[in-house]
Amino acid sequence: MIFDQIREIVSNQFDIEESMITQETMFDELGADSADVEELATAIEERFGVSVEEESFEGIGTVGELADFIEARL
């Protein structure tokens, strides 16, 4: 499942237990800044083989929305 893989990436990126990350977890709650978004985009590109521009994240507020975004590109 895409969400599970995204949750793993986010967990590693923000050093948070995977069990604490839900579809509704908001990136601003995690304290994400532009450097975090860039690293997250790189990790997603490596995992899924899709190109993700940092600007693509502008409308994405939750982990679930990110999973939907990636799933739509696969």
The two tokens of residue 37 are 């978004």
Q: What is the pTM of this model?
A: 0.86
The continuous run of DSSP H or E covering 38 comes out as helix 34-48
Residue 61: what pLDDT?
87
Q: Please give the biggest Cα pair distance in the chain.
A: 28
Per-residue pLDDT reduced to its tens digit, 6-59: 999 999 999 899 999 999 999 888 888 888 888 888 999 999 998 877 677 778
Span 64-73, pLDDT tens digits: 999 999 999 8
Which of the four CATH numbers 1.10.1200.10, 1.10.260.40, 3.20.20.70, 2.40.10.340 does domain 2-73 have? 1.10.1200.10
| CB-facing half-sphere around the CA of 59: CA atoms within 13 A | 3
What is residue 54's predicted lDDT score, i.e. its pLDDT?
67
Return the pLDDT at 22: 96
Q: Show me where the domains of the chain are located.
A: 2-73
